[in-house]
Structure 1
Amino acid sequence: MARLNDKVRELLQEYADLISITGGDAFRARAYEKSARAVGGHPEDIDGMDVKALQQIPGVGKSTAEKIAEYLADGRIEALEKLRADIPAGVRAMMSVPGVGPKRALALYRDLGIASVDELAEAIRADRLSEVPGLGERSGEKILHGIELMRQSGGRTLLDAASALADQLVDALTAVPGCTRCAYAGSLRRMRETVGDIDVLATAEDSAPLMAALTALPYTAEVIGTGPTKTSIRTTDGIQVDLRVVPEEDWGAALVYFTGSKAHNIKLRTMAVRAGLKLSEYGLFDAESGEKIVSAGEEEVYAALGLPWIAPPLREDRGEIEAALRGELPELVAEADLRGDLHTHTDLTDGLATLEEMIDTAAARGYTYYAVTDHAPDLVMQRMTDEKMLAQRERLRELAGRHRRMRLLHGTELNIGPDGTVDWPAEFLSGFDVCVASVHSHFGADRDAQTRRLIRACENPHVHVIGHLTTRRIGRRGPIDVDLDAVFAAAARTGTAIEINSSPQRLDLRDEDVLRAKRHGVKFSIDSDAHATPHLAYPRYGIGTAQRAWLTTEDVINAWPWQRLKRFLRKDALRA
């Protein structure tokens, strides 16, 4: 289940969007956007807070606190409902299409009478968008692509929300008397970036208490079907959950089968057939006699097929079975291997927590080094100045002894301009311990231009990491058009790391692209891009991407000891 904070964040963001598209005060809309970020990034659960307590959240004023309290008490915000009534639901849906947004959605509705995503697609194909000022053929192509992106992600849940729900389900079912094992499986266990539904497996002599417990959960909205071996529900967030209860002795075979992927399972079954065996969710059997050979543990099932255990993120039929047969499976990087985070933000720019709060939370994660990388001045809305950045550096030095075992690094997230240049001259950049450079604008530039700007950023001797390279936001904004192989080659040549941005809204790079980059010899940085203290836990998701891409600690610079990372960060000195 999504945190209550996240639900309220979505409502406040929607309220801000509706204020904007209905011609409301822009300052007021921005205030609610800020409040939305503040609530979403607040580390404590807001459930049960009154107006006074809510106002203690930085960025939440009295009016916002009253609306949140109204929602906590009644499950609705009257002011939001009134604005919703003024805008058809289909127009609100258009706001979510990448490339449209609130203002364009309202213009399309008022000027062309377009009141749904389907009508918008039809209007683009009929070349009607040219009737709206500022929209033309190229805009239409981008919006059509955005509609396709939204439809591809429709009905799928981001990894963080799916993981949070699955963890709650496993905890709740494990506590049921008689349950001996419980775990989630499916694409979530394989750490896919989005999840269609959640598969949960459990073992018990009597399945009835487990099935009853699932249907009685407070976030169960609908029971799709129930029986002695399988029960399916739909949660209040619209996520389908399938619970299967199997005998203890069949646990391993069931976990292999329901983890998947389908292609991986087909390969395993083919191997079984060639060996005169039959593999199913019930076990591995002798094909001729029907005698069960093994089924209790995953390791035993794989071993009976002549294979070592294969980590779930690898089970995509990308050569993992062949590598296992050769004894060449990698020792995958794990979250515990990360020694630090090289991309984080504070309230000096668009973060929600203070420098001290971010440092303390990072130290609690056991890091040996930690970088603060607030935005640079070319991202004008963040109002960064040389003086502010130097003052932060001085404050960071004052805090150097706050956590003896954690080294503090002063960095920045630079903006890669259309021509590949970055904020600040070389002499100023040389004062940073680490520089992350990212694209934050001009997403629509053509392929050649995007490729040139990123290669030039890689060639900058002061840029250590390229952040969220493709700029995508899952289901909301597609990747920029860029020759990735050319950029990867440049990154390998210049000793520039490519980030695996762990924000579940980004997960940028995709695992397929990380695989390509690794073949070029690229090194990676698995970072949180945290804008609040809870976000510092995001590397859990970036690690999933890294594992799906076969990465080891050798590939990940922030899994290295400090002295080795320090040598890597001397890129500017080595290239000077």
Structure 2
Amino acid sequence: MERMNDEVAALLQEYADLIAITGGDAFKIRVYEKAARSVGGFAQDIAGLDERGLRRIPNVGASIAAKIDEYAHTGAIHQLEELRARVPAGVRLLTTIPTLGPKKAMVLYRERGIDSVESLERAIHAGALQGLPGFGARTEENLLHGIQVLGKTGRRVHIGLAMPLAEDIVARLAAVPGCDRCAYAGSLRRMKDTIGDIDVLATADDSAPLMSAFTALPCVTEVVARGETKCSVRTPTLQVDLRVVRRDSWGAALQYFTGSKAHNIRTREIAVHRKLKLSEYGVFDVNTGARIASAREEDVYAMLGLPWIPPALREDGGEIEAAVLGELPRLATDADIRGDLHTHTRLSDGLATLEEMAAAAAARGYAYYAVTDHAPNLYMQRMTDDKALDQRERVRRLGSAHPGTRFLHGTELNLDPDGEVDWPPEFLAGFDVCVASVHSHFTLPRARMTRRLVRACENPHIKIIGHPTGRVIGRREPVDADWEEVFAACARTGTALEIDAFPDRLDLPAGLARRALGHGVVFSIGSDAHAVPHLANMRYGVGIAQRAWLDPGHVINTWPPDRLLRFLGDGRGR
């Protein structure tokens, strides 16, 4: 079920954006941005908290608590509604273009009447921005590139937005009397990093109650189409399609609607060669028309002479051939994860204390847990040697409170353009784990970016390269590097590449991770948690790992503690 925290966090961030667009006070903007992050990362569901309870949330003062309370009781924040009325929705969408800030978006609207991404692109090509202060040729070039980046995701959203919505819908429909089974399918079940729409599948003898419940869901803003067994609705985030099938067709329907299209074409081709017909209704004998399998996915694949293929692999990327040869990998799962090696606390840019994060990690049953706050060269975090050493002592004391978890003191270092990092070797030697990441200079030439990453691998104190491509889905393109050279360096030096599980990163992407696997590289799946709820993002990283064909042996945080510690000590851990 979706938490009220997420709704309120989005509203507070929108309020901050609208203040910025309308030229409001910079301090006030930061206050609301901090409050949005704090509410979104607050471990407790804020539904039901009174104003006093709301004020216990970090960065939530009396005024913001009152707004949250107003929303809880009325479903709206009147000051937000007033700001919305002053700023056209299209102008707010302009601010989603990478490199275009709120002030410049408002200038475009006031001076040129530009109120959409499409009208901005037309204006640039028509030369309509010429003479507008602050919009020279370089700015126009950056805006066109930003529009291109935005267009690559289109109306798709990252999985972290789609998954909670799908799970909430499935839970509500599963509770409808008469519903036998309900699940999401499509690209979401395949754990793709971005989702274009959500496919929900259900079984029931009578579809009418499900259709009525579906169209009445709180998240529904429009009913696009409604039939006896299929219904499509729009939500503020995505379109959602519901299909109700007979109980005995569940397996075939689930296989079909999970996709991908390319995978389904291959399975239908196999069926034809075996004188069978495969559809969403089942597997049929071509000669007799008899249905011979449909109730379970496993039965459908078995009739094709194949073992069940995990959804994350169903992309026609060699999974059919591997299945025929009996060489499908035993994919890493959530249950294999023994710890988290990339997390943050309030000491840098996190929202929870060290003790709160440690308790949450122990509650997840982790055998080990690393705190990796940012190092000094990320200047806004104000990290110092003394702060890091003081935290180290606090980490060492955590074991007495949570004896089942081994706590590691780490840091997330900042790779400068030449591959150097924040602290000298003698200081780095005191950390249990060093993650090194690119946080700036994302547009270096390919050769220099490659050397930057290779030098990080060659640093004996760096054991993990964090979010290696630096991408932010829909906002920032991956860095340009010779990845084959980087992968070879990782394999040579025993440096792990991270799959950052934060939903707007999911970095290393699955395609690159699979290529790295071919070099013998090992991986770390890190939540990059900045708050207690973020620890649960680990599952998105696991999904990417599965799409990359990773087995547990290639993921270092599935290893037993002794093996992991050997790896962190010498980079091998064999």
TM-score relative to the length of structure 2: 0.95
CA contact (8 A) 2:180 2:204 kept: yes
Superposed, 1:246-265 pairs within 5 Å as: 246-265=245-264
CA contact (8 A) 1:347 1:354 kept: yes
The alpha carbon displacement at 1:211 in A equals: 2.0
1 CA distance for matches of 2:189 and 2:197? 12
Alignment RMSD (CA, Å): 2.1
**Bigger mean CA deviation after superposition, 100-109 or 225-234:** 100-109
**Is residue 2:340 matched to residue 1:369?**
no
**Bigger mean CA deviation after superposition, 175-184 or 489-498:** 175-184
Aligned to 1:53: 53
**Is residue 2:20 matched to residue 1:20?**
yes
Q: What is the percentage of aligned positions where both structures have the same residue?
A: 63
Aligned to 2:188: 188
2 CA distance for matches of 1:114 and 1:450? 37
The alpha carbon displacement at 1:496 in A equals: 1.0
The alpha carbon displacement at 1:156 in A equals: 2.0
Q: What is the identity, as a one-letter code, of the residue corresponding to 1:26?
A: A
1 CA distance for matches of 2:479 and 2:114? 27
**Bigger mean CA deviation after superposition, 374-383 or 143-152:** 143-152
The alpha carbon displacement at 1:15 in A equals: 2.2
Aligned to 1:467: 466
CA contact (8 A) 2:494 2:571 kept: no
Equivalent position SS for 1:231: strand
1 CA distance for matches of 2:134 and 2:216? 52
Aligned to 2:119: 119
Q: What is the identity, as a one-letter code, of the residue corresponding to 1:529?
A: D
**Bigger mean CA deviation after superposition, 312-321 or 120-129:** 120-129
The alpha carbon displacement at 1:573 in A equals: 11
Equivalent position SS for 1:569: helix
Unaligned runs of 5+ in 1: none
Superposed, 1:320-339 pairs within 5 Å as: 320-339=319-338
Aligned to 2:447: 448
Aligned to 2:295: 296
Aligned to 1:487: 486
2 CA distance for matches of 1:110 and 1:456? 48
Q: CA 1:514/1:417 → structure 2, altered by over 3 Å: closer, same or farther?
A: same
**Is residue 2:440 matched to residue 1:458?**
no
Aligned to 1:175: 175
Aligned to 1:151: 151
Aligned to 2:100: 100
1 CA distance for matches of 2:458 and 2:140? 35
**Bigger mean CA deviation after superposition, 433-442 or 444-453:** 444-453
The alpha carbon displacement at 1:238 in A equals: 4.3
Q: Deviations 1:369-393 (Å, cap 9, x if unpaired)? A: 0000001111111111111111100
Q: CA 1:387/1:147 → structure 2, altered by over 3 Å: closer, same or farther?
A: same
The alpha carbon displacement at 1:126 in A equals: 4.7
The alpha carbon displacement at 1:307 in A equals: 0.4
Q: CA 1:462/1:60 → structure 2, altered by over 3 Å: closer, same or farther?
A: same
The alpha carbon displacement at 1:19 in A equals: 2.8
Unaligned runs of 5+ in 2: none
Equivalent position SS for 2:473: coil
Superposed, 1:142-541 pairs within 5 Å as: 142-235=142-235, 237-541=236-540
**Bigger mean CA deviation after superposition, 84-93 or 35-44:** 84-93
The alpha carbon displacement at 1:488 in A equals: 1.7
Superposed, 1:27-66 pairs within 5 Å as: 27-66=27-66
The alpha carbon displacement at 1:437 in A equals: 0.8
CA contact (8 A) 1:349 1:382 kept: yes
CA contact (8 A) 1:127 1:137 kept: no
Q: CA 1:180/1:51 → structure 2, altered by over 3 Å: closer, same or farther?
A: same
1 CA distance for matches of 2:124 and 2:461? 44
2 CA distance for matches of 1:459 and 1:99? 33
1 CA distance for matches of 2:508 and 2:3? 26
1 CA distance for matches of 2:157 and 2:511? 20
CA contact (8 A) 2:249 2:294 kept: yes
The alpha carbon displacement at 1:252 in A equals: 1.1
CA contact (8 A) 1:462 1:572 kept: no
**Is residue 2:541 matched to residue 1:557?**
no
Q: What is the identity, as a one-letter code, of the residue corresponding to 1:257?
A: Y
Q: Deviations 1:283-333 (Å, cap 9, x if unpaired)? A: 111112211111111111111111000000000000100100011000000
Equivalent position SS for 1:400: helix
Q: What is the identity, as a one-letter code, of the residue corresponding to 1:250?
A: S
2 CA distance for matches of 1:395 and 1:316? 46
Q: CA 1:82/1:287 → structure 2, altered by over 3 Å: closer, same or farther?
A: same
The alpha carbon displacement at 1:69 in A equals: 2.0
Q: Deviations 1:437-478 (Å, cap 9, x if unpaired)? A: 111112232322322222211211111111111111111222
1 CA distance for matches of 2:87 and 2:448? 39
**Bigger mean CA deviation after superposition, 111-120 or 256-265:** 111-120
Q: CA 1:129/1:517 → structure 2, altered by over 3 Å: closer, same or farther?
A: farther
Q: What is the identity, as a one-letter code, of the residue corresponding to 2:180?
A: T
CA contact (8 A) 1:2 1:161 kept: no
CA contact (8 A) 1:146 1:478 kept: no
The alpha carbon displacement at 1:103 in A equals: 3.7
Q: CA 1:172/1:84 → structure 2, altered by over 3 Å: closer, same or farther?
A: closer
Q: CA 1:133/1:554 → structure 2, altered by over 3 Å: closer, same or farther?
A: farther
CA contact (8 A) 2:348 2:381 kept: yes
Q: What is the identity, as a one-letter code, of the residue corresponding to 1:339?
A: R
